[in-house]
Amino acid sequence: MSQWYPKKGRVIFHVDMNSFYASVEMAYDPKLKGKPLAIAGNPEERKGIVVTSSYEARAKGVKTTMQLWEARKLCPELIVLRPNFDRYRTASKEMFQMLADITPYVQPVSIDEGYMDVTGTEKHGSPIEIAQNLQQKISDELDLPCSIGIAPNKFLAKMASDMKKPMGITILRKRDISEKLWPLKIEEMYGVGNKTAEKLRSIDVNTIGDLANGDAYQLKQIFGINGERLQNRANGVDMRPVDPDAVHEFKSIGSSQTLAEDTTDEAEIRKLIHQLAENVERRMKRKQAVGQSVQIMIRYHDRKTITRSRKLSHFIEQKADILYFANELFRKHWNLEPIRLLGITVQDVDKKRNMAKQLDLFTYEKEAGKEKLYEAIDELSQKYGKNPFKQLRNDDREEQPRTSFQKDFLDDFKK
């Protein structure tokens, strides 16, 4: 069995549930199987937005972020349901527990996908046997389909899992990248968004192969350190470990400034708060990030410093939102003594592409028309076997859309 495992390298899985929300609903109600199904925040309203859809609906042209009236025009028989977040949490927890039964090195990255480092797990079989058994177990016990990418690192495993859906298992070795990876269009590369793809095309980088073999100096001039990182990934280089604790890593984006003189002048203070909020918004946009907490720091004339924060029920990125909560915190906690320094920080920050599936559906519908932040909200498919969702049937309620998943939820399978 050891011949299947590298002596020095790693064997990484990326497990990606197929059309997740729709598939969970089909597992819960088998009568939905084989039918075109969409999950949307406001099924009763024409302006509702499609969050995800079954493969049967996709075959009729229904897409994520599409308005419901348009989806129904393409597919008149479309069945539309509100999301049931408790049901999806239950499915996700069960799925991640199955991954953890194989190896402790499991890193959830969202409700429906995660990485596994199966290096050294020979007792469970070869990598392909482990993947086949895991895929079958998830299908048999949860009645949910998934795709699994097998590779020597996280980036290649992620790319591999996207190559065959639903219910695919794809191996992507470094020696295969020139044949399997490089011919793909540059926008198909994980980590390359629309704006980055546009910039790359402007310098004749049209495929992943073009990026892999491109001018390293030019890439770094245009994209900074990210240019080097993207080129490394295109060449199959990714040293990131599978980190079970990564779900608890929180980042922040902030701005602070010392005033020219200690002051109690509210006009001057308000002006500075506006400037700080604008700085934070600009930095968040540059990082393509959203956050869920706002913190204000006040340093007084005697150097006494306080920090106060508020956890929000939704994610923010706009200056208006940052300003609103920063002003609220300032009004509540300023003791009217002269101020020397002010700071505003947005905490619990992550990349939009990572947080897309966690955004409150009201925010989703508001923002979906502006950007493709929510393209990632596409997950899990069909089949009926053991049904772990029946226990929720008596408790089922028509809840208003709300924030679905926080990062700490992704650790529940360990409890």
Residue positions in the annotated binding site for Mg(2+)?
Answer: 16, 112
Binding site membership: which residues? 16, 112
| H-helix segments, 37-161 | 55-58, 68-74, 85-100, 127-142, 154-161
The residue type of 167 is: M
Task: Please confirm, yes or no, whether 113 is among the known catalytic residues.
Answer: yes
According to DSSP, the residues that pair with 300 across neighbouring strands are: 339
In contact, 90 and 400? CB cutoff 8 Å? no
Distances, alpha carbon 78 to alpha carbons 32, 37, 177, in Å? 11, 6, 39
Measure the CA–CA gap between 252 and 112, rounded to whole angstroms: 25
Measure the CA–CA gap between 387 and 146, rounded to whole angstroms: 16
Q: List the structure tokens of 191.
A: 């980590």
Say if residue 248 is exposed, middle or buried (CB neighbours under 10 Å; 0-12, 13-18, 19+).
Answer: exposed
Which one of the listed residues 25, 56, 113, 365 is annotated catalytic?
A: 113
In contact, 306 and 262? CB cutoff 8 Å? no
For residue 76, give every residue at least 6 positions away whose Cβ sits within 8 Å of its Cβ, in sequence order, or none: none
For residue 19, give every residue at least 6 positions away whose Cβ sits within 8 Å of its Cβ, in sequence order, or none: 52, 53, 54, 55, 58, 145, 166, 378, 379, 380, 381
Measure the CA–CA gap between 159 and 14, rounded to whole angstroms: 9
Residues with catalytic roles: 113
